[in-house]
Every structure is written in C-alpha cells, then in structure tokens.
Structure 1
Amino acid sequence: MRTFHEQGFVILRSIVPTDVVRQLRHLIEERYQDPATHTAEPGLDLVRGGVSLMRMFEYHRAFRDLVEFQPVIGLVEEILGTDCHMVAQNALRTPTGKGIVNWHIDDALFFPFLAQVPAIADAVMPLPCFSLNVMVALSDTDDERFGPTQVVSGSHLSGREPQHEPVLPAGTTSISLLARAGDVYLVNSQTWHRGAQNHSQRIRYLLTTTYGRRFISQRFFPFMNYRMPPAVLHGASDRLLRLLGCHEKGPYG
C-alpha cells in the first residue's frame, strides 16, 4: 500500500499461475484471429488501433473470473474501498513495431492544484486514489526490446499531464516495469505511463483490468445503451456481481 501511494505503482511477482497465463494468452490470440472481431459493426467496438481488444470479460469466463482474482482484488479494495467496481477490461496484443508510445494518464487530471502547491502531496499523503489499472503480464517482458510498460514514479502527485507526447518532458525519468508472465502490476490512473515499442519478433500480451471507486463510471461502449450479456452474470459470486456493477442502492438512487 505505502509503495503504491508513494510511487504510483507496485509490482506483485509470480501471482497468476502458468496454466492460467497460457489459457488467457491463447484466448486473446483466438479472439484476435477470429474474422468476426475485425468485421463487427462499429457499435460492438471489439478492437481499437489493431492492438487493443475490448471487454474481454464478455468473451470468456476466464477473463471475468480474473476480475475478483486473489490476492490482487484484496489490495484493490483496500485502495479503492469495498464498493469499488470494474471500469473496463481490455487485452493488449502488441506485435513487432507497435506500442502505445505516447505518455498519458488514463482519466481526467484529478489534482491539478498539486502543480502549484507540491508540498501538499507530502503533507497529506496518501492522497486518495480514484481509479487504477491492474496489468497482468501474459508474456515475458523482462528486457527493453519486448516493449514493457513504462512509468514515471511519483508523477501521480505532480498535478500535471505529460501532454500525450512520445518523449517525456525535461527533468522526468521513466522506469521500465520489466516482468515475467504471471507478474501483476497496479498503476494509479494518474501515473504517467505508456507501452514502449516492441522491438522484438515476439508478440507481447497484456491484460488490463481497470477498477474505480463507485462514483467513477464504468466505460463499456456504447455507454448509455450498453447491456451486459446475461451469461457474464451467471454463476457470479456476490462480490463479483458488485465488481461487475451490480451495486446495492446508494446515493442518488
């Protein structure tokens, strides 16, 4: 917890079993190779930019069940609260020469005042985290040439955005999250990050599940008209149902 709040990320080693990693990687490739994925009407929004496969929890129960995977979900709930939910779940399939190379944060800038009064970040630590990404490495990215996720430690406390540039602003330094298949890393949505270009001949596979506090809206396209397939809810535990968005009554309704 302390590392996550101070650095804006934390790495958990050897969390997902090898057989689960192998199954998820196979399912991602299977979905990517399915012609229906690429010919689907725009309203289904199944693939973006050729590398990001959307709403994997709809595709196979193995992805859905990973939403409440222990011990990761326990840490997520400790950070976001026990009424948090999944915001999105996407798979990244990054072939040679590709990568999400622009530095970015994953939501609105929550604390812009920190840019003017940086001492507040030290005085009130930890600042609340409203949303985060749980990234599961499904292939080894233990060398720079494989295009690892890169972050700027502490950038979630800067009160600034990296302006979506492929090169970091002067005075900032990136860290490559070198990982083995089965490692998991949690990244605050406000932490500057990117997926470096894959310079190897090997496809990089990564599963990203985003979680948010209850007031952070779920991002399932087409948003207002989205309807979760009944099969996704079938057999889910009470905890998983809540993580999928089935909340009890609360503020505003």
Structure 2
Amino acid sequence: MTGPHDLAEIADSFHENGFAVLPSVIPSDTADHLRVLTEQRYQDPQVRTGPAEHDMLRGDVSLMRVFEYHPAFRDMITMEPLVTLVETILGPDCHMISQNALRIPPGKGIVNWHIDDALFFPFLEGIPSVSTGDNAIPCFTLNVMIALSDIDDEQYGPTQVITKSHLSGQRPPYSPDLPTTPTSLLARAGDAYLVNSQTWHRGAPNQSERTRYLLTTAYGRRFISQRFYPFIGYRLPDGVLEGASERLARLLGQHDKGPYG
C-alpha cells in the first residue's frame, strides 16, 4: 500500500482478498463518543420494552438502526474516505442497508463462521477466478466496521476472516471451528475495515475482561433492498433527514426515480 488511504489500491486489495483495512479513519475522541452513546443506548430500558416492531436489540449484543438514535451515528454513513471507497466498489447510486452497533461483553462473541447474505456466486466453486481489475467478481453488499474500542490483541475477540473465501462459491460450515487459519483484523479505536458480505467471517470470542465495541454499517448496490424491520411497514423517523446532504439522503434511501419506478 503506497499510502494509508490510497483508495484505488485499497479497492483492488478488497476485490482480491475479500476485505481491506483502513487505519485511523476517525479520531479516538470520536470513537470514544460513539462508544459512550452505544452504552447509553444499550442501557436504555426502551430498547427492551418498546413495541416488538422496533426490534432494537438482537441477540443481546447488536443494537439495530443506530442512525435513528443519534446524529453522530448517522453522520458516520458519509464518513470519508470510507464512503468514497464504498461508492467506488458498489457504484454511485448505492445505499446504506443497515447500521448496527455491536457490544460484545466478556465471554461472548459472534463465533460461528458465516456470510452476511445469500450465496451470490455458487458457480465459482472449483473455478479459478480473476479477482482484480476489469474482471473482478462484482461485490453487491459489504460491511464497513469501525472499532470503537481497542481490539488490538486476540484476547479482545477481533473480527476474523478467511482470505479470498468470497471467491470460493461456498458457504462456510456454521461452526466456530475451521480447518484453516483465519486472519484476525486487529484494530485500535478509530480504525476501520471493509468486509465483503461473501467473505467468511466471524467475531472471535472476547476472552478479556472488557467489553468490545464496534460500529458496523452495511451498504448495498441500488437493487439490494434496505434491511429496516418491519421492512414493508418501515418509515424513516422524523428528524433523521434533517440537515442531511443530498449524498446522505440518497444513502438513507432517498433515490431518484429509476427503471422500475
């Protein structure tokens, strides 16, 4: 990598390996602020007692749709250079499909290997693939993950990936164990990494005595639906679009008319 944020080179690396790392995307005090907001949201009784359709907590570790909760989360959707990199990979009419804050306490983790969507390219199994340049396998959805606490050692339960697994044409076995060595994406608060939704990944178990915090924003191409429960009945809350730039409004789903309507 010729520079910390050489976007063309990072995009090539992403297509080749199924993930890419960007150090020091946000200042540590911004990460601290988002971490405090995550904890406040988690401690809010309404997260657990509100109407079922709000669905604000999943598995007691994932806080859903945090862009609704505070503008500090919403504004991360257009954080540079991440958003330009995302648009380079997914196209200029892409949008955000989900935004969750992860709070992983000691002893917990999203430990089973998985991909984040349907298996898009099953025909790749057993076929050597060119993964960069004009012949790159297209990416339809990806996750941008920003560390809100230091996850710079294996004990803190880092995100782990299997390099080039997005080109395998297979799902991983839904298991905490694989017969291959994963890559741990160690990070300091404020670092970010992108993971292709087809890349095999997991959150290793948090074996430390402190909670792990992570903001994860998923983006998809225009034809990929946004994942805001209850889906057909979802309505963007009043105020979320207040003061939003044209770019942010589009990433939130305010698109121009297209070929289907």
Q: 1:237 to 1:97 in 2, by over 3 A?
A: same
Q: Which runs of 5+ in 2 are unaligned?
A: 1-10
Q: Show the counterpart of 1:238.
A: 246
- The corresponding residue for 2:181 is 173
Asked if residue 80 in structure 1 is aligned to residue 114 in structure 2, the reply is no
Q: How does the TM-score come out when normalised to structure 1? A: 0.96
Alignment of 1:61-76 (within 5 A): 61-76=71-86
The one-letter code sitting in structure 2 at the alignment partner of 1:181 is A
**Is residue 121–residue 157 contact of structure 1 (8 Å, CA) maintained in 2?**
no
* Alpha-carbon contact 1:220-1:226 (below 8 Å) kept: yes
Residue matched to 1:108: 118
Task: Return the alpha-carbon distance in structure 2 between the equivalents of residues 207 and 122 of structure 1.
Answer: 28
* Amino-acid identity (%): 64
Q: Number of residues paired by the alignment?
A: 250
Q: How does 1:105-144 map to 2 (within 5 A)?
A: 105-116=115-126, 118-121=127-130, 125-144=135-154
CA distance in 2, matches of 1:143, 1:244: 34
RMSD: 1.2
Match of 1:51 in 2: 61
Q: 2:167 aligns with which of 139, 157, 165?
A: 157
Post-superposition shift, 1:163?
A: 2.8
Distance (Å, rounded) in 2 between the aligned partners of 1:192 and 1:209: 17
How far does the alpha carbon of each residue in 1:82-120 deviate from its partner, in whole angstroms, 9 at most, with x for none? 00000000000000010000000000000000114x223
Deviation (angstroms), 1:121: 4.0
TM norm structure 2:
0.94
Asked if the contact 1:114/1:121 (under 8 Å) is kept, the reply is: no
Aligned counterparts of 1:199 and 1:120: Cα–Cα separation in 2: 37
Where do 5+ consecutive residues of structure 1 fail to align? Answer: none
**For residues 149-188 of structure 1, what are the alpha-carbon distances to aligned partners after superposition, in whole Å with 9 as ceiling and x for unaligned?**
00000000000000321112x3x32100010000000000
8 A Cα contact 1:132 1:211, kept in partner: yes
Are the equivalent residues in 2 in contact too, given 1:85–1:243 (CA < 8 A)?
yes
